[in-house]
Amino acid sequence: MYSQGSLFRLSDFLRGDEKYHIARVNLTSRHDISLHYHDYAEIAWIEKGSGKHFVNGQQIALSAGDLIMIRPTDSHAYYPSPEGITLMNVAFSLESLELYRNRYFPKGGMFFWTDSALPVQLNLPMNTIRRISARGEECMKHERSYMQLDGFLLFIFRLLTDYETKMSAEGMPQWLKNAINEFNKPGYFKGGGSEFAALCNKNIDYVNRVVRKHTSMTLSELINDQKMEYARTQLIMTDMPIKEISRNCGFSSLAHFYKIFKKRYAYTPKEYRRFTQMII
């Protein structure tokens, strides 16, 4: 059984008639936020940096684009990498959480209402994270009222349900889903968009349009995402030389590989490997 840590109370973060808490936080040390659980619900999203989320006795990698829905019973703490994590979070009462479930998610089974051991964590496109942050910054300019909270959370829920629909088998053509699942090997990466279109057995221009419709990414962005996920896995799970990983991803320039990887994960491949292979 894992330790739950300290109990954080929403009332300790609120002033006067405030109904919720919202903040941007820069974490540079694992001691910035101690292990804790809540009497409230929390949504957190990573704007910059990477690290690990110690949650319910497990360690989960964190990187820019991750959004986590932390339930009151989840015990967690953040372990930032040496260069830190910048995140925003919004915390709100169990009363509001119950209202959202009853009104919008009566069937449960998703977001805060899963029975899984770990909270829901989604890796979203950075343009989606920027939209959420911009809306959060707008909320900061106003009083912390239920009206502001409801508007903000419904905005987030809409974005996430739209995103999940686009990424689900029902919302995405089966041929595209099959191609995405298959396009995860070095043999495909070197062929780029042409190879992906061949897997789809479709014209590349048509594939690009469908990819954009269902993922909000261009075909090039989707391919780079697949390459970076492969690279990330190799850096964590193997001792394969970084030059070889770069070549396997289809990059003729190691510098370009570094640039794309750092843009995606905020750290160079060498830094990312050193951090994720550290024993904590």
Whether 214 and 167 have beta carbons less than 8 Å apart is answered as: yes
Q: Tell me, what's the pLDDT at 279?
A: 41
Domain ranges of the chain: 6-167, 174-276
The answer to whether the predicted template modeling score (pTM) of the entire model surpasses 0.75 is no
Instruction: Write down the H helix ranges in the chain.
Output: 94-104, 126-140, 146-167, 174-182, 186-189, 192-200, 204-215, 219-237, 242-248, 254-265, 269-276
Q: Tell me, what's the pLDDT at 276?
A: 67
Record: fold of 6-167: Jelly Rolls (2.60.120)
Architecture per CATH, domain 174-276, reads as Orthogonal Bundle (1.10)
Low-confidence ranges of the chain (pLDDT < 50): 169, 279-280
Which helix (DSSP H) or strand (DSSP E) does residue 99 occupy? Answer: helix 94-104
Under DSSP, the state recorded for 252 is S
CA separation, residue 15 to residues 11, 36, 42, 61, 70 (Å) = 8, 21, 18, 33, 22
